[in-house]
């Protein structure tokens, strides 16, 4: 094989398609029994995308854009999985995808990579591309007694395909990030009781999901060139630009009206209505207060409303969820909220969850909406060994180091789609993925022509790490101490700001410059020559 690609989600599928078109021999190895990546695994109740359907999709083929029909403003998990199945068949990708193959290790040998799966089967390739996703390594809290829980427990990112019948049952859900906030209203409808265990209160904005009419779809399809232009011009890959209105200059009533309008429109676009919301503390405080007011207006019980009100981080410094009736759900008689910051969970008992105070909550079903070991987890889950046998786990012991999130010093001819240090999770993912895949494809064409190796230089990595930190420091993002952007949700994980916060548009330019100037940060050198002698 010229290229092995690990993962068959949005990234792996498009990488395979591009490689095929360029005449490379390539195969995709996928641990799951189906394609879809994140959308294969995350089947929890309420799973739905937070980006709008018309742009949470590929842009590489105008025919695909025109023929696919999205049914709702925000696509549900099953619809996105169906879309990716369609793409797989439409471009005849299936014959080069091996399903049910979990990669255990990838070792640099001679001029290529030896990739070994968990069954011990080896495959060899010249170039290795990881398309393992940013949020695919489930983070299940290490709680004493979990193995002895008498009921059933599930992590949302590993939800059983046959579903979980919670009808009439006592359900406990841990975690109030984007996932928990999507799942709570749906679980509450059929559970006998639902107890939500909240560690950090979260802001959330109504999604305002709705079916898409034929007319809306037709208008979008007619406008796709402009949609794509806007996506490329924006900082986060969404097809809208940030407002140029200084909200603090507005009289109170006009500012309130601006927030109300953005609230009524709903979705992640709320952020774009508030210029400098992520860089100006006063602007952010004003928007955060508006969102706190909304919680008080929605939740009937003042004590529950206060517990649900975020006070320890500015709005959007943690990835903001969007919801369909989340805060309203706490007005149901079968739903209760428990503050586990005030009274932490200490263990799982056979009958439920025990808190530090000694209080025990009796449960039949326990749901962990506790997120992921983000960005580095999926890569470090594979034993990747570069030149001289150096393990990626050791190279990243103090946090990940990459050049542009695309490659790692000491690991020649390895390319990481949406790796740490790239904008990835701060953007609309398909936009970031397509940019990475296209960029990697161009570089591979060059490497095939010249016979060179590509391996980031330590200097380039150092410079990029400084840029990533500087970009984060120019925002309020590092102020959220418990953010998974910083690795704070996983005990023992180094606290390093993981994605590049300097904007997708600027990042794209930086990558284009790197290519146009001959890939100086990738230390291109003739085949067979080691990096140290280069």
Interface residues toward ligand N01, by CB under 6 A? 48-50, 135, 141, 174-180, 182, 199-200, 319, 340, 345, 369-372, 425, 482, 484, 489
- Rounded least distance, CB 62 to ligand N01, Å: 25
Write out the DSSP string of 333-389: TTEEEEETTTS-EEEEETTEEEETTS-EEE-SEEEE---B-TTHHHHHTSEEE-GGG
Q: Is the separation of the CB atoms in 467 and 521 below 8 Å?
A: no
- 435/489 with CB nearer ligand N01: 489
- Rounded least distance, CB 236 to ligand N01, Å: 12
Pairing of strands 26-29, 3-6: parallel
- 24/74 with CB nearer ligand N01: 74
Rounded to a whole number of angstroms, the CA Rg of the chain reads 23
CA 427 to CA 393: how far, in whole Å? 26
3-state secondary structure 199-263: CCCCCCEECCCCECCHHHHHHHHHCHHHHHHHHHHCCCCCCCCCCCCCHHHCCHHHHHHHHHHHH
CB atoms within 10 A of CB 468: 24
- Rounded least distance, CB 468 to ligand N01, Å: 18
- Rounded least distance, CB 47 to ligand N01, Å: 6
- 199/508 with CB nearer ligand N01: 199
Nearest CA-CA partner of 43 in 9, 80, 97, 6: 80
- Rounded least distance, CB 531 to ligand N01, Å: 35
- Rounded least distance, CB 141 to ligand N01, Å: 3
* CA 125 to chain CA centroid, nearest Å: 28
Closest residue (Cβ) to ligand N01?
A: 177
- 308/345 with CB nearer ligand N01: 345
Backbone phi, then psi, for 167, in 5-degree steps?
-55, 120
- 430/523 with CB nearer ligand N01: 430
What residues are paired with 109 via a beta bridge?
112
- 354/453 with CB nearer ligand N01: 354
CA 219 to CA 86: how far, in whole Å? 23
- 484/519 with CB nearer ligand N01: 484
- Rounded least distance, CB 234 to ligand N01, Å: 17
- 299/369 with CB nearer ligand N01: 369
Nearest CA-CA partner of 145 in 325, 350, 344, 329: 350
The kind and range of the H/E element at 125 are strand 122-125
- 98/151 with CB nearer ligand N01: 151
- Rounded least distance, CB 269 to ligand N01, Å: 14
- Rounded least distance, CB 400 to ligand N01, Å: 18
């Amino acid at each position: 094989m010229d290229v092995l690609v690990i993962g068959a989600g949005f990234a792996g599928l498009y990488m395979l398609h591009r490689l095929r078109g360029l005449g490379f021999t390539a195969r995709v190895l996928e641990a799951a029994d189906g394609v879809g990546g994140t959308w294969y695994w995350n089947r929890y109740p309420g799973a739905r995308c937070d980006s709008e359907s018309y742009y949470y999709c590929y842009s590489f083929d105008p025919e695909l854009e025109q023929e696919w029909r999205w049914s709702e403003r925000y696509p549900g998990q099953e619809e996105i999985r169906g879309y990716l199945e369609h793409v797989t068949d439409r471009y005849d990708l299936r014959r080069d995808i091996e399903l049910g193959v979990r990669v255990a290790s990838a070792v640099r040998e001679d001029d290529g990579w030896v990739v070994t799966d968990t069954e011990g089967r080896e495959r060899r390739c010249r170039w290795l591309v990881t398309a393992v996703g940013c949020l695919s390594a489930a983070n299940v809290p290490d709680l004493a007694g979990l193995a002895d829980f008498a009921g059933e427990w599930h992590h949302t990112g590993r939800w059983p395909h046959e579903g979980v019948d919670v009808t009439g049952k006592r359900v406990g859900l841990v975690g109030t990030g984007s996932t928990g906030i999507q799942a709570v209203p749906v679980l509450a409808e059929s559970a006998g009781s639902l107890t939500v265990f909240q560690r950090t209160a979260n802001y959330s904005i109504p999604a305002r999901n709705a079916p898409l009419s034929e007319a809306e779809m037709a208008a979008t399809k007619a406008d796709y060139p402009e949609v794509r232009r806007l996506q490329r011009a924006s900082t986060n890959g969404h097809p809208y630009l940030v407002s140029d209105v200084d909200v603090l200059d507005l009289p109170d009533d006009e500012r309130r009206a601006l927030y109300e309008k953005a609230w009524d429109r709903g979705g992640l676009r709320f952020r774009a209505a508030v210029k400098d919301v992520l860089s100006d503390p006063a602007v952010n405080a004003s928007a955060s207060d508006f969102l706190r007011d909304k919680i008080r207006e929605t939740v009937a019980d003042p004590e529950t409303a206060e517990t649900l009100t975020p006070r320890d981080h500015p709005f959007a410094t943690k990835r903001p969820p969007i919801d369909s009736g989340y805060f309203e759900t706490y007005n149901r008689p079968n739903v209760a909220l428990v503050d586990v910051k005030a009274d932490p969970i200490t263990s799982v008992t056979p009958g439920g969850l025990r808190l530090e105070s000694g209080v025990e909550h009796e449960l039949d079903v326990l749901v962990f909406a506790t997120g992921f070991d983000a960005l580095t987890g999926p890569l470090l889950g594979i034993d990747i060994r570069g030149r001289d046998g150096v393990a990626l786990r050791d190279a990243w012991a103090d946090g990940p180091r990459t050049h542009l999130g695309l490659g790692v010093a000491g690991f020649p001819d390895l390319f990481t789609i949406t790796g740490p240090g790239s904008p990835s999770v701060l953007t609309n993912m398909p936009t970031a993925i397509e940019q990475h895949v296209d960029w990697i494809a161009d570089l591979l064409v060059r490497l095939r022509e010249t016979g060179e190796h590509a391996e980031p230089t330590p200097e380039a990595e150092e410079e990029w790490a400084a840029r990533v930190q500087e970009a984060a420091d120019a925002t309020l993002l590092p102020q959220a101490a418990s953010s998974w952007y910083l690795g704070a949700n996983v005990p023992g994980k180094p606290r390093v700001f993981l994605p590049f916060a300097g904007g997708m548009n600027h990042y794209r330019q930086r990558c284009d410059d790197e290519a146009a100037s001959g890939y100086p940060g990738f230390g291109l050198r003739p085949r067979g020559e080691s990096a140290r002698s280069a």
